[in-house]
């Protein structure tokens, strides 16, 4: 009698796939959508993008404190066992104890998932700062060690790298001090306007950057197989990061994370929060077209093609697209690279409004939010999910801005 039991074949480790692909390839990243409709739409998109872009692997993100754990597990299972793409599951240790992490790893292994992105993660819901969890993990290094100690070589492990420095290691610098920065610091300087319209400058100083690189080396020495970088928009930053890795004895593949430019508002929020350096010519180009969504996407493709060509020329093993659960810019870039042919004509983003991240209704201090009372800026986050918000669109007769305390669910990020 034939065996009718379905046997799940474990994924290969991504680190082994690099050797099988001597030329640069494509990989993708998705996040768990907020609604059931969004999840269904994303699963359809995963299939479309698999057939049109042939990704070697695909990531699915994990919400702070495990807030999307079940949905993340469902989606990586879908990526691997329905779409047939090697799945790379993000796993954070923020506000999680070892038992919960072990449950997630056991479930992943049962589904044949063999690749994990080990991360510290964002602060938990309603908190603006990350705090150690008593009896739990203090950092991504602890998570890497835990996986190796409890699972040996069962999982391939990737970790995050920050070519411009981790946001918590980036500090403000006065404009008058900019000429005194080292050449490497000048390459990492970012700038943004504060609430009053005054220009602010930020940089990861060389001493702090050294600590970042030493820590990255510790993660690799503990058992991580390769690095996926934070977003950046200057190929020179990647080239310098490769040199820095070599100088610190980090001899693994460094995968550049490519943030797709889909709209200016989202771009500004992400780069502002991460204190990512935006080259002046890029900022000027986006400013000129910021109100023309079609022009922004077209420019996002053109810029992405140029950046990816430079990264591949510099030795990038693959280009890892932060897709934002959308496809048009990714297709355009791959057509422009010559890695695909005509897929830009097969775009369907009619479901774009359903691609909001699960958990994105909570915000951090400084985030712009909307509510039934109008738009505003978060001034304080509370542990119950409520927030104190300056409602900038609601002004009193004397011009004073109304400040309100809104419950969780009464506001959402713009």
Residue from 120, 8, 124, 113 nearest 58 by CA: 113
What phi and psi, each to the nearest 5 degrees, are found at residue 70?
-65, -40
Active-site position among 29, 164, 212, 327 = 29
Token duo for residue 344: 């830009």
**What secondary structure does DSSP assign to 138-204, as a single string?**
SSHHHHHHHHHHHHTTSSEEEEEE-TT--GGG-EEE-GGGGGGS-HHHHHH-EEEE-TTS-EEEEE-
* Residue 251 to residue 160: CA distance in whole angstroms: 15
β partners of residue 357: 33
Residue 310: active-site member: no
pLDDT at 4: 42
pLDDT at 67: 59
Q: Give helix 235-247 / helix 206-221 axis angle, nearest 10°.
A: 60
Report the first-to-last Cα separation within the chain, whole angstroms. Answer: 59
Token duo for residue 388: 């104190």
pLDDT at 280: 94
Residue from 93, 131, 115, 148 nearest 10 by CA: 115
Contacts of residue 391, Cβ cutoff 8 Å, sequence gap at least 6: 371, 373, 374, 375, 376, 401, 402, 403, 404
pLDDT at 46: 97
Q: Is the dihedral of CA 346, 263, 119, 241 positive or negative?
A: positive
pLDDT at 74: 94
Do residues 255 and 245 lie in contact, with contact meaning Cβ atoms separated by under 8 Å?
A: no
List the chain residues with pLDDT less than 50.
1-5, 360-362, 383-384
- Classified as helix, coil or strand, 34 is coil
Residue 268 exposure: Cα atoms within 13 Å on the Cβ side: 16
pLDDT at 83: 96
pLDDT at 369: 76
pLDDT at 132: 61
SS (H, E, C) 238-300: HHHHHHHHHHCCCCCCEECEEECCCCHHHHHHHHHHHCCCCCHHHHHHHHHHCCCHHHHHHHH
Do residues 94 and 120 lie in contact, with contact meaning Cβ atoms separated by under 8 Å?
A: yes
């Amino acid at each position: 009698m034939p065996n009718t039991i379905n046997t799940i074949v474990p994924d290969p480790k991504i680190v082994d796939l690099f050797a099988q692909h001597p030329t640069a390839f494509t990989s993708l990243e998705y996040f768990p959508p907020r609604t059931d409709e969004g999840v269904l739409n994303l699963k359809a998109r995963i299939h479309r993008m698999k057939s049109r872009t042939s990704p070697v692997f695909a990531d699915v993100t994990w919400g702070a404190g495990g807030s999307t754990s079940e949905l993340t597990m469902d989606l990586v299972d879908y990526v691997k066992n329905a779409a047939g793409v090697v799945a790379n599951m993000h796993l954070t240790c923020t506000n999680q104890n070892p038992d919960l992490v072990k449950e997630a790893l056991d479930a992943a292994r049962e589904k044949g998932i063999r690749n994990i992105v080990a991360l510290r993660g964002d602060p938990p819901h309603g908190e603006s700062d990350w705090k150690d969890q008593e009896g739990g993990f203090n950092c991504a290094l602890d998570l890497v060690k835990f996986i190796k100690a409890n699972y040996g070589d069962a999982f391939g492990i990737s970790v995050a790298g920050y070519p411009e420095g981790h946001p918590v290691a980036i500090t403000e610098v006065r404009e008058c001090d900019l000429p005194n920065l080292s050449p490497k610091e000048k390459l990492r300087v970012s700038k943004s306007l504060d609430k009053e319209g005054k220009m602010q400058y930020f940089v990861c100083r060389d001493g702090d950057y050294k600590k970042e690189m030493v820590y990255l080396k510790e993660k690799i020495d503990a058992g991580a197989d390769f690095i996926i970088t934070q977003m950046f928009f200057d190929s020179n930053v990647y080239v310098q990061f490769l040199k820095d890795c070599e100088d610190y004895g980090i001899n693994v593949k460094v995968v550049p994370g490519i943030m797709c430019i889909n709209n200016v508002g989202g771009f500004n929020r992400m780069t502002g929060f991460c204190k990512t350096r935006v080259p002046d010519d890029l900022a000027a180009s986006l400013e000129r077209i910021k109100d023309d969504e079609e022009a922004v996407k077209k420019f996002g493709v053109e810029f992405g093609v140029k950046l990816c060509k430079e990264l591949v020329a510099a030795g990038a093993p693959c280009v890892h697209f932060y897709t934002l659960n959308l496809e048009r810019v990714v297709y355009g870039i791959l057509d422009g690279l010559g890695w695909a042919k005509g897929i830009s004509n097969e775009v369907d983003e009619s479901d774009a409004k359903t691609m909001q991240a699960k958990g994105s209704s909570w915000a951090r201090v400084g985030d712009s939010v909307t509510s039934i009372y109008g738009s505003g800026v978060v001034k304080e986050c509370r542990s119950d999910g409520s927030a104190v918000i300056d409602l900038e669109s609601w002004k009193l007769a004397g011009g004073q801005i109304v400040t309100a305390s809104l419950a969780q669910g009464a506001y959402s990020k713009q």
